[in-house]
Amino acid sequence: MAANLCSRPVAPGSYRVTDAFWLREMDLVRREVIPYQWEALNDRIPDAAPSWWMHNMRAAARRNAMKRAGKPWQPAGSGREMRFETLPEKGQAPDPDAFYGFVFQDSDGYKWIEAVSYQLMRGPDAALRATAQEAVDAICAAQEEDGYLDTYYSLGLRERAFTNLRDHHELYCLGHLCEAAVAWHQATGQTDLLNAAMRFADCCAEKLGREPGKKRGYPGHEIAEMALIRLWEETGEQRFLEQAKYFIDERGRRPFYFDEEERERLGEAWGGPTQGSGYHQANAPVREQSEAQGHAVRAMYLYSGMADAARITGDTALRAACKRLWHSAAEEKRYVTGGVGATHVGEAFSRPYDLPSDTAYSETCASIGLAFFARRMLQMDPDSRYADVMEEALYNTVLSGMALDGRSFFYVNPLACDPEACKTDARLGHVKHVRQKWFGCACCPPNIARIVSSLPSYAMTQNEDTLFVHLYVAGETEVTLNGRPLKLKVEAGLPWEGEASVSVLEGSAEGTIAVRIPGWCRDAKASAVTLRNILTPGAEELAGDEKGSREKSGYVYFTGAWEPGDRVELYFDMPVRVTAANPLSPETAGQVCFRRGPVTYCAESVDNEAPLCLWRVDPAALTADPDSIRVEDAEIGGMPMKRLLVPARIAAASREQPLYRDWAPEETEDGTLILIPYFAWDNRGETEMRVWLHAR
């Protein structure tokens, strides 16, 4: 077994996914989401909010051309004012030279290029590559002479660049640019976008840092931390790792930079020092932080960068902070759907165990961020508990963010939704009961596109001598163990069937293959896991310890010489699990939900009598007789899946009854409650939905 268990993800391009479940999602992104988003970035979708992405890039390129030609250039119209969102004046045509959209609008196109790059790694597509090249060229033309690249300031008051790192997302755009540039470089071998990213990173480093004369600033919206580390990994340029470490180390130190920055910006009008901003995870140095707090996406991105840095540097204090923050986010503040961020106020984490269903925020991007964080914790410490959460996020909230036809998206992912309430109740103003086509603040759809397109890098990580199989995604991959190539085949029926295998197709190598035993199986019935049939060509079936298998933290490590025909088979028991929450979670007291394998289920009123609050299930009876829950093949939106038929009762109710009465046993009738996977809700017209159901 390897002494150092740290690992890196396999390249998405080295893993040919054939998985029935994930291939559909990846192809959906390629066929529907990516072309649609390109139209959106170019403002060619008639009834959707304009993105302004290409508009802004082109305008910035014209500005640069004028400056190069020595012609005078002035910011146009609304570009003179610094607003968080800038739109054309009412009744007026857009000014072709003005910036429009949110301050972070540039990042939408970067995320799109990143997703396209992963798709190009899967298979070439000359037309798609040419379209992406158009986007890359537009970005490169928008970059200023000094490397600065943020159209919001380029088209506005450039002299105010780096004066509002807290709110104005320049470093967030830098982060997404780096992510896109690395993926584009890996997909195409081209250095155009990589150079643009390096130049902008250097431009930022010239202004920000510990050295005298620089501002001690750091990102208001994190992501640059992990992105610069990727840029370092791709280019080998140490300065990008140093820049990432600086951003991590400086965050939350006193005096608080965001206070200093505001004082400089506001002068006399400054209100005085604050206690630091928990919303930005900037009220204490990161190594002293213990509770996941503030804006959930920002938090997840920061913690992901911290985990990367801790892995690379071996910084034990940073690693300990990552573990504490993981515990807080994943064990005290996580929805059963793998969502995080319970309150819409600040799109933020709430108190431990405060996990309301109907007012949930649970932004798709935060769940994506939770998967980022989990994968990075796994890279540092292969413990199946991280993979369990990563898998839960991917199969539930991340996919819920996208309609089964790939044409509309959720930003907010509630665990209970009544369409009538959403239409009339201001407290639910942030919850949409149907997915939206495109939003001006379009963070989630391109984020789904990039994580789904890069799924293999969540399925497997490896180091010199060990390959870790975290998710069972059918496909073929080529890896190198101790310098020798191995071609592997993964077969899997997840999330519906509990069978998986890893077999060697070609090559021979010595080393370790570590396979994960999912928590949903381990916790259910350990004896149901069978590791067997490690075969060598022409040999009889050999015992599992032929390759010296041993189990640690939910992974079984097989070490030895691997030859074609060697195979590890796994059989996971997949009972329907009746799940209760920690009693400290007030929202879910007296309720249960249903899960099977990595999939969390929900009830919809298109299948069941409404309102869904009338349904009662009997957890004691259901767990005593698990076979009373039927698992049935179903299809929604053309996707085959399993639905659950749960014996239940429905309470008699009418408006004739008084609001309050002396307690007496409820009058109920027998019924069968139909549950579908949470990710598939809202694909059959307007419907009420509930994950948690009342127990009786």
Choose among 669, 472, 691, 440: nearest CA to 585: 691
Nearest distance in Å: CB 347, Zn ion: 9
Encoded tokens for 60: 């910035």
Alpha-helical runs (H) found in 316-363: 316-326
Choose among 33, 163, 31, 153: nearest CA to 103: 153
DSSP-assigned states of every residue in 350-374 = -STT---STT----HHHHHHHHHHH
What part of residues 295-324 is at the interface with Zn ion (CB under 5 A)?
A: none
H-helix or E-strand containing 650? strand 639-651
Nearest distance in Å: CB 340, Zn ion: 12
Do 691 and 360 touch, CB atoms closer than 8 A? no
* Residue with Cβ nearer Zn ion (163 or 413): 413
Q: Site size for Zn ion, by CB under 5 A?
A: 4
* Residue with Cβ nearer Zn ion (40 or 535): 40
Nearest distance in Å: CB 154, Zn ion: 25
Encoded tokens for 508: 């021979």
Nearest distance in Å: CB 461, Zn ion: 25
* Residue with Cβ nearer Zn ion (443 or 650): 443
User: Looking at 149, 309, 330, 444, which residue binds Zn ion (CB under 5 A)?
Assistant: 444
Nearest distance in Å: CB 85, Zn ion: 15
Contacts of 424 (CB under 8 A, 6+ apart): none
- Distance of alpha carbon 489 from alpha carbon 477, whole angstroms: 7
* Residue with Cβ nearer Zn ion (453 or 559): 453
Nearest distance in Å: CB 183, Zn ion: 19
Q: Which stretch binds Zn ion (CB under 5 A): 186-194, 259-267, 358-366, 588-596?
A: 358-366
Could you say which of 225, 332, 347, 392 is catalytic?
347
Q: Which stretch binds Zn ion (CB under 5 A): 362-370, 386-394, 418-426, 462-470?
A: 362-370
Do 459 and 19 touch, CB atoms closer than 8 A? no
Task: End-to-end CA distance of the chain: give it in Å, rounded.
Answer: 49
Q: How many CA atoms lie within 13 A of 211 on its CB side?
A: 6
- Distance of alpha carbon 663 from alpha carbon 646, whole angstroms: 27
Could you say which of 173, 322, 422, 443 is catalytic?
443
Q: Which stretch binds Zn ion (CB under 5 A): 169-177, 359-367, 533-541, 595-603?
A: 359-367
When asked if residue 443 is in the footprint of Zn ion (CB under 5 A), the reply is: yes
Q: Which stretch binds Zn ion (CB under 5 A): 199-207, 311-319, 342-350, 438-446?
A: 438-446
Choose among 338, 166, 394: nearest CA to 266: 166
DSSP-assigned states of every residue in 554-605 = TEEEEEEEE-TT-EEEEE---PEEEE---TT-GGGTTEEEEEETTEEEEEET
* Residue with Cβ nearer Zn ion (439 or 571): 439
Q: Which residue is nearest to Zn ion (CB)?
A: 365
Nearest distance in Å: CB 296, Zn ion: 10
Nearest distance in Å: CB 393, Zn ion: 14
Nearest distance in Å: CB 366, Zn ion: 7
Do 26 and 453 touch, CB atoms closer than 8 A? yes
Q: Which stretch binds Zn ion (CB under 5 A): 105-113, 357-365, 537-545, 600-608?
A: 357-365
* Strand ranges across the sheet with 466-469: 8-9, 460-462, 466-469, 509-516, 555-562, 550-552
* Residue with Cβ nearer Zn ion (60 or 365): 365
DSSP-assigned states of every residue in 289-301 = --S--SBHHHHHH
- Distance of alpha carbon 472 from alpha carbon 493, whole angstroms: 8
Contacts of 233 (CB under 8 A, 6+ apart): 182
* Residue with Cβ nearer Zn ion (452 or 524): 452
Q: Which stretch binds Zn ion (CB under 5 A): 329-337, 369-377, 443-451, 535-543?
A: 443-451
Nearest distance in Å: CB 52, Zn ion: 18
Choose among 343, 367, 379, 392: nearest CA to 448: 367
H-helix or E-strand containing 270? none
Neighbours of 410 (CB within 10 A): 25
- Is 347 annotated as catalytic? yes
- Distance of alpha carbon 16 from alpha carbon 10, whole angstroms: 11
* Residue with Cβ nearer Zn ion (131 or 436): 436
Contacts of 173 (CB under 8 A, 6+ apart): 104, 106, 107, 110, 149, 150
* Residue with Cβ nearer Zn ion (161 or 340): 340
When asked if residue 378 is in the footprint of Zn ion (CB under 5 A), the reply is: no
Q: With the C-alpha atoms ordered 194, 196, 201, 206, is the resulting torsion angle positive or negative?
A: positive
- Distance of alpha carbon 649 from alpha carbon 667, whole angstroms: 9
Choose among 104, 91, 106, 102: nearest CA to 59: 106
User: Looking at 54, 365, 603, 612, which residue binds Zn ion (CB under 5 A)?
Assistant: 365
* Residue with Cβ nearer Zn ion (370 or 490): 370
Nearest distance in Å: CB 156, Zn ion: 24
* Residue with Cβ nearer Zn ion (412 or 500): 412
Choose among 135, 122, 127, 129: nearest CA to 176: 135
Q: Which stretch binds Zn ion (CB under 5 A): 243-251, 276-284, 360-368, 458-466?
A: 360-368
Q: Which stretch binds Zn ion (CB under 5 A): 209-217, 265-273, 439-447, 657-665?
A: 439-447
Q: Annotated active-site positions, please?
A: 347, 443
Q: Which residues bind Zn ion (CB under 5 A)?
A: 363, 365, 443-444
